[in-house]
Structure 1
Amino acid sequence: MKKIYILFVLTTILCPIFSAAQDDATGYTLFNEGWKFQKGDVKGGEAIKFNDQQWRSLSLPHDWSIEGPFSSEWASSTGYLPAGIGWYRKTFTLTQQQQSGKVFIYFDGVYKNSEVWINGHYLGKRPNGYTPFQYELSPYLNKTGNNVIAVKADHTKYADSRWYPGSGIYRNVYLIAKEKVYIPTWGVSFTTPEVTAAQAMAKVDVKLQNSTTATTTVVVKTSLADSKGKVVASKDQQLAVKAGEEATATLSLPVVSPALWSDDKPELYRLSVSVFQNGKTIDQYTEKVGFRTIKFDAEEGFFLNGKNMKIKGVCIHHDAGALGAAVPREVWARRLQIMKEVGCNAIRMSHYPHQDYLYELCDEMGFLVMDEAFDEWARGKNKWVEGWNVGTPTKDGYHEDFAEWADRDLGDMVKRNRNHPSIIMWSIGNEIDYPNDPYTHEVLNTGRNPQIYGKGFIKNNPPASELAEIASRLVKVVKQLDDTRPVTAALAGVVMSNMTDYPDLLDLVGYNYQEYRYADDHKAYPKRIIYGSENGKGKKEWVAVDTSKNVFGQFLWTGFDFVGEARKWPVRSSGAGLANMAGFPKNDYFVRQSLWSAKPMAYLMVANNGEKEANRFMWNADAKWNWKDGEQVKVGAVTNADEAELFLNGTSLGKKSADGDDYPMWDLKYQAGTLLLKAYNKGEEVATYSLVTAGRATVISTKVDRADFDQAKKGVSHIEIELKDAKGNLVYDSENEISVSIEGPAKLLGLESGKLDSHESYQSPQRKVYRGKLLAYIQSDAKPGTIKVTLSGEGLGEKTITYQSK
């Protein structure tokens, strides 16, 4: 493995599948409307004449598991939510454009074991629930009459994941219409052999497929425009494509003084590709692209565009609480902005390919991405049923399909995503080497070995030597498709993997929760490029990165709380996030902001548990100033300033240094009023934060992120709800139930409080607030009119928000 890993990439910002969805010139049409759904297996559901009139009508994306109900009969690992089998059907006719050429259907993801039929003809099966796939429909279509597409998703093995996967067609679907000579899906790729401040050279490969019976000559035209629309480079190439074969046009586009894509300034260009035959346009492709360089070094760490920097990342799962796995683009846009404000600059797509638009958002907003393929390989991991590490786990999961599908699934992930500037590494696996789950080695009888299920070496478990054998195969798959980025994996049992060739096969070696190994392993393996692929959220975990020049960054577990990986019932979600499932920041969020953000900040948290250890105090503290009179409490201050001073009702309780490993803390007796924190740099006040004793909740206060919708497309608005007293103070301990009613062309997608053990139905228009807050998701119907959303609750009156769809 080389000591220095240098990459130059011209990469895309908009996935062609998504960006083309509303553009007839490219042949892509969003295919989400007008579906029928039936929960449970049905005989003959694929038949053209099957009567589906009694089935439920819905729009995609759709996740049936999140509809519940929650029950202890299901698995803790997947959030105590039901799974099973679901059927989808859609009847459609072709447009005139779609009748003459090739027609495909593209699914961004179906969980799982999806089987697809068109007009009763079986198209195929895709076991992986996260990988996009497509089928050609052309030979089986009725060009002038009705056509029926049928999809069966089989999630019968409900405890098949270590987190909540969702069920059904939970991502976008597209109908693709092409001429008989066309650019196939993922047929355009970009690299840059040269990037300097003076000039960048983009290499654009355009694949053409000829499905006719004669050699066809076409002209491929490309152009690149800057953010103001000025064309800065263009190139044409004539290409002869033999009958029934593929050919590739390779074009070079030089750009003078390129504006570079970065995490803090994601500069973009627009690439346009057009294919002409006899002067007629037969295919088009357009997307945004960016220039940037990345470099990884075993001694110096990571460089973006020549600048040495630390990766400040978070891991995410694909669900959003109330919405399950069917999460609209606007929801993740809000979530990513929340992470931006904490100082985050990187996202780990744990532990599978995510929604297509999520990569686009990372490109647009400036997040570096670790894209990950698998959580298990040929052997199954423990999937807990009665609670995390409780009882007897199942072994159901992807390993059952790994031998047949892994190479294709991994390859499709790379082909779909390789043009995104945000992606800086490919991960072939997460914690595949988790000690004794299932792999083992004699070294587990020695040393410091965290995260061991069972004790020491277990003779009958599969040997760790298998890790290198499989990793070698997977690395080869990635390198054949993209050699411009490093290959990595997240290692949980580094002490065991070090006894194999597994780490040496990787360009970058991720360490999960093993900061104590950084220094020793750097000495033992000086050419190894090390980083934290999954980490705890305390100060010490960041100090291990911040004080080590060679360790280039970390990814916290996690950015947001998520459904699944739950403890014992009634808890049904993980509380590992910096923010809860509604996206409201938790104590962890502000602690991390104090470490990652340069903007001066201050925050207070209070507990009466007397905990002395800082992290435990943080977990049990509340951001409130409502306690029993005279009660002994502990107050913790979080700030990135030099000093912190606490005031109670105007009286100073003293200044304390904020530079230490722990938070500044004060022990005092509770007294109603105002608790105020002032933060100072070199004696100058730079930030404040206060907690005020609140009265009874009487007011519904809201924060809304938009005032209108575009009637041409569906959109989502977030309503952040807070319950306040008559003086405008947040009532942190309130648990009032809020009801939501809607008039006009919109619907309530869901209500989320963030409470980990709430079993309230996500299909209900009522929900209790948690810690005084609630989030409402409102989705427009893409129709004109006035939308009125009314919020109400006992003793709270009503609050109405009005939108215009225009």
Structure 2
Amino acid sequence: MRRIHCLLMLCFLPLTLENQAQMSPTSGTHRSTVADPRVEMSLRDGWRFKLGPESATELQAEPDATWTTVSVPHTWNRVGYYKDAPASHSNTAQNVVTTQGVGWYKLVFTPPANVSGMESFLQFDAASRIATVWLNGTLLGMHRGGFSRFRLDSTAALKPGHENTLTVKVDNTKPALGSSTADVLPLTGDFFVYGGLYRLVNLIFTRKMHIDLMDHGSSGVYAKTTSATPASAKVQVRVRVRNDSEQSGALVLRTLLVDAQGKVAAQQVQSVTVGPANVVERTADIAVPHPHFWQGVEDPYLYRLVVELSNKSSKLVDRVSLPFGIRQVRFDAQNGLFLNGKHVAVHGVGYHQDREGKGWASEPEDVAADEAMMREMGVTGIRLTHYQHGQPIHDLADRDGLVLWDEIPLVSQWTQGESLQPTAELRENARQQLQELIAQDFNHPSVITWSIGNEIDFGNSIPAFVGNKTGAVPDPLPLLKELNQLAHELDPGRPTTLATCCEGIRYAPDTVVPITASVTDLAGANRYFGWYYGKPSDLGSHLDTLHRTRPAQPTAVTEYGAGGAISLHSDNALGGPESRNRPQAEEYESYIHEQNWSTMRSKPYLWGTFIWNSFDFGSTTRSEGNAQDINTKGIVTFDHKYRKDPYFFYKANWTTTPTVHINSSLYIERAYRMAEVRVYSNAPMTSLKVNGKLVGVLANCPDRICVWNGIVLSPGANNLIASGSFPKGDVDDKVQWRLSDAAAKETYIDCGALVAGASPEKHFGSDTFFEGGTAQVITGPGGGFRAPAPASIAGTRSPEVAATYRTGTFTYRVPVDDGPHSVVLTFVEPSLHPGDRIFDVFANGQKVLTNLDVAAAAGGALTAYQQHFVVNARDGMVTLEFRPTKGDAIVSAIEVQ
């Protein structure tokens, strides 16, 4: 193997008190005056990687040529791709890698000779999901869990000044009975678990006496605000001091809080004696006069907490320096979240850590770009789902005042097979991951709650990605209660929470779900009215019922939304069937968000609302919309570049930033000459021009939604300009829509379709111009999170068009020019027998079809049947009425030429 020597990053970061304050995330550079007692070596470049085999013995036989050179962060997986426009995406059907199993990493490096005699610790910011580590052939240890930082003591095995070989086995095998990962959370979930060393790796050197680096990946320092008033605040700082030598040591422990100007705001000095090979804890209670509070996005003020260990000669032995915000959080079950006594509106998003082309191996600058995009939209809170996220997002949230929901990966499943109890090993893994989460994120002022699980209340309504159980359903309450107690023991100051899916939701008549929300201090509800079940209008009464059930428990909506594809568009968001398998038009995603937010903004008892999701993300349980193995509920695409329409809806509602956005900008080739123009605008006055002509001006649009109906498009290019008048000037948004000559003369309606089906001869639009009736679809096998197979329908060259239909008693008012028009109606009987469905059709008040029995006329079900007639349009309209005499009327397509 080629010898690779990593560059040593000697982080001699001496700090005056002024410089210590300047090291906050909001500051610039600092200068050095005294050597820092810690040395950190980055192990980023020069790794060799190989996928498989299982054992280290088998690995020895693998030739060097089979290894590839990589840098960390690294993952071997590439998951999820959009099916349309593959040239514009980095992920394609040809280059995805969904293999889950064992990967090997090997690094040859040379640490400096002058660290001889120091303690050394290998630090992995994350390795998914089981990591086994050898240094120079010596097994250092194993870590089970793919999301938390862990450290291994490498002192005995390290050879300073010489070549060292570091070998890491990483295993992300999909959990199953008997598998290596059977007891490592998460067992399942609607997201993909990538494999690899996907966060940074470092080697840290310290003196024998140091602030504890072997405490669950923590800093060894635990600080919290115990009281706070404008006059004074008290901060309690607990420090773990470790002695790795064979002799007792006496030290001076100095705890300082430094303000943003570099001045010491408070400090305490105490002595500490640590026996050989021992750890002791000391607590400092420091009083801060006239504290400057960390006030969320309004004023995210950070002090710097500095903890120093010195010997009798006042020589610095160790130092930890970290940002700290003085704040107190209160959750009120009736009025929401209060930060230092001030109410804070938590406008939140859920956040997964993967992105197209990089998976989980994103860089800190990628995370910073994501966070900036969220803040631009007006986000004030982030639910870090469904596992522990890394240091960068926590530091950014501290700096910018966002509040965070931290979570462990107890997701949907906690037993294997037909077992009704989790194994002892799984319980221990859940406890370990919770302890690591709290230890590592304890000091962040942004973190306001610890979540102990997500959607483990399915009961007997188990989704397909969890698997089927034939017997009794496991009870999640014992494990939840154990974790809830542990969280309170580890951090009595923060409330616990979890996210539920199913309380009050009837997936089927025999649905029985456990009530888990009452276990924790706070409740979170993942609810998808209008997407997986019910209607958007059902959300309000449902939330009110939950609130009445537990009126003393603060509640948040922790997931809501819908799938949306930027390549799929609808002429009418209400035109499709109410089904979880609906095509994922961008316009329907917007509709769901509009309706949900209109409801939730009127519920003062909600302490927060969290959109699902900020970005599309990888999930091999899904094949829907325009994507394979992607959950498309993000309001930004998987590459984190294109903001979908709902993004601007929230930006208009959640910020004062002048915002004007025309929806459906990518629906360029229009199906109808008559269109609705929908604009998100927070301007006092918003105007619309079409092809240079002013259409109208709207003032203070409700919910920031400005709508112009009945806009007539011209053949060819149509230029639309929406303009918002703001005190500092106008803000415009422009789109260009095109109307073909054929679409200007002919109207082809795919009845019952949210997104029009493909036809080899005609350009159909989705269902619109209707009044009454319901949309339905004939589908083949399918379900869950996968699009159903197309239906088999005889007698048509356009089965996608024929498969959808409107049924009931309904009317279409089709805008056309006055004069004679040829009308073609397509019918398909889904399932009824002759004589079960009979109806009449009227055109402009005249009966044109009498006692139509589609099953009889077509010769049976699932066979297309057409009727033709001519009607004279008057007052710019062809009106078609469908009136049943037995059963419901039905129509699959309307053509007006």
User: TM-score, normalised to structure 2's length?
Assistant: 0.65
Structure with the greater relative contact order (CA < 8 A, sep ≥ 6): 1 or 2? 1
Q: CA-to-partner distance for each residue in 1:140-183, whole Å, 9 max, x for gaps? A: 23345322111111223399552132211001112121222111
- Contact 1:435–1:453 under 8 Å retained in 2: no
Of 155, 162, 171, the residue aligned with 1:154 is 171
CA distance in 2, matches of 1:59, 1:378: 34
Of 541, 549, 574, the residue aligned with 1:524 is 549
CA distance in 2, matches of 1:413, 1:570: 33
5 Å-filtered alignment, 1:233-632, equals: 233-261=266-294, 262-279=296-313, 280-376=315-411, 379=414, 402-436=426-460, 438=462, 460-463=471-474, 466-495=475-504, 502-513=516-527, 515=539, 516-536=541-561, 538-564=593-619, 565-568=621-624, 571-581=628-638, 582-605=640-663, 621-623=664-666, 627=670, 631-632=673-674
DSSP-derived class of the 1:323 partner: coil
Q: Which moved more, 1:30-39 or 1:476-485?
A: 30-39
> Would the alpha carbon gap of residues 399 and 129 (structure 1) be closer, same or farther in structure 2, given more than 3 Å must change?
farther
Q: Which moved more, 1:340-349 or 1:588-597?
A: 588-597
DSSP-derived class of the 1:539 partner: helix
CA distance in 2, matches of 1:134, 1:64: 23
In the TM superposition, residue 299 of structure 1 has moved relative to its aligned partner by 1.5
Q: CA-to-partner distance for each residue in 1:585-608, whole Å, 9 max, x for gaps? A: 111101122222233321112xxx
Of 203, 214, 219, the residue aligned with 1:175 is 203
Q: Which has the larger radius of gyration?
A: 2
> Would the alpha carbon gap of residues 203 and 524 (structure 1) be closer, same or farther in structure 2, given more than 3 Å must change?
same
In the TM superposition, residue 583 of structure 1 has moved relative to its aligned partner by 2.9
CA distance in 1, matches of 2:661, 2:96: 32
CA distance in 2, matches of 1:591, 1:70: 24
Q: CA-to-partner distance for each residue in 1:756-786, whole Å, 9 max, x for gaps? A: 99xxxxxxxxxxxxxxxxxxxxxxxxxxxxx
Of 44, 60, 75, the residue aligned with 2:72 is 60
CA distance in 2, matches of 1:50, 1:216: 48
> Would the alpha carbon gap of residues 675 and 506 (structure 1) be closer, same or farther in structure 2, given more than 3 Å must change?
same
> Would the alpha carbon gap of residues 663 and 211 (structure 1) be closer, same or farther in structure 2, given more than 3 Å must change?
same
Q: Which sections of structure 2, spanning at least 5 residues, go unmatched?
A: 1-22, 84-90, 177-187, 506-510, 529-538, 562-591, 740-785, 788-897
CA distance in 1, matches of 2:668, 2:728: 26
Query: Partner of 2:227 in structure 1?
Result: 194
- Contact 1:437–1:453 under 8 Å retained in 2: no
Matched, 1:649 2:698: no
CA distance in 1, matches of 2:373, 2:415: 35
- Contact 1:48–1:148 under 8 Å retained in 2: no
In the TM superposition, residue 521 of structure 1 has moved relative to its aligned partner by 2.4
Q: Give the partner amino acid of 2:443.
A: N
CA distance in 1, matches of 2:435, 2:25: 19
Q: Give the partner amino acid of 2:201.
A: V
In the TM superposition, residue 303 of structure 1 has moved relative to its aligned partner by 0.6
- Contact 1:127–1:401 under 8 Å retained in 2: no
DSSP-derived class of the 1:28 partner: strand
CA distance in 1, matches of 2:82, 2:98: 5
Query: Partner of 1:799 in structure 2?
Result: none
DSSP-derived class of the 2:606 partner: coil
DSSP-derived class of the 1:566 partner: strand
Query: Partner of 2:732 in structure 1?
Result: 688
CA distance in 2, matches of 1:495, 1:632: 41
- Contact 1:107–1:132 under 8 Å retained in 2: yes
CA distance in 2, matches of 1:309, 1:543: 19
CA distance in 2, matches of 1:547, 1:184: 48
DSSP-derived class of the 1:588 partner: helix
CA distance in 2, matches of 1:176, 1:46: 31
> Would the alpha carbon gap of residues 539 and 70 (structure 1) be closer, same or farther in structure 2, given more than 3 Å must change?
closer
Of 620, 634, 637, the residue aligned with 2:676 is 634
In the TM superposition, residue 648 of structure 1 has moved relative to its aligned partner by 1.0
In the TM superposition, residue 320 of structure 1 has moved relative to its aligned partner by 1.9
DSSP-derived class of the 1:65 partner: coil
- Contact 1:105–1:136 under 8 Å retained in 2: yes
CA distance in 2, matches of 1:68, 1:39: 20
CA distance in 2, matches of 1:266, 1:381: 44
CA distance in 2, matches of 1:415, 1:549: 33
> Would the alpha carbon gap of residues 520 and 355 (structure 1) be closer, same or farther in structure 2, given more than 3 Å must change?
same
> Would the alpha carbon gap of residues 597 and 551 (structure 1) be closer, same or farther in structure 2, given more than 3 Å must change?
same
- Contact 2:347–2:608 under 8 Å retained in 1: yes
Query: Partner of 2:102 in structure 1?
Result: 85
DSSP-derived class of the 1:88 partner: strand
CA distance in 2, matches of 1:152, 1:93: 21
DSSP-derived class of the 2:37 partner: helix
In the TM superposition, residue 354 of structure 1 has moved relative to its aligned partner by 1.0
- Contact 2:678–2:705 under 8 Å retained in 1: no
- What is the percentage of aligned positions where both structures have the same residue? 26
- Contact 2:37–2:206 under 8 Å retained in 1: no
DSSP-derived class of the 1:476 partner: helix
Q: CA-to-partner distance for each residue in 1:631-667, whole Å, 9 max, x for gaps? A: 3333212223455432112322234562169651423
DSSP-derived class of the 1:460 partner: coil
> Would the alpha carbon gap of residues 597 and 142 (structure 1) be closer, same or farther in structure 2, given more than 3 Å must change?
same
- Contact 1:70–1:80 under 8 Å retained in 2: no
DSSP-derived class of the 2:652 partner: helix
- Contact 1:178–1:283 under 8 Å retained in 2: yes
- Contact 1:627–1:670 under 8 Å retained in 2: no
- Contact 2:345–2:607 under 8 Å retained in 1: yes
Number of aligned residues: 633
Q: Which sections of structure 1, spanning at least 5 residues, go unmatched?
A: 1-11, 383-393, 439-450, 606-620, 696-755, 758-806
5 Å-filtered alignment, 1:666-705, equals: 666-671=709-714, 672-679=717-724, 687-692=731-736
Query: Partner of 1:28 in structure 2?
Result: 40
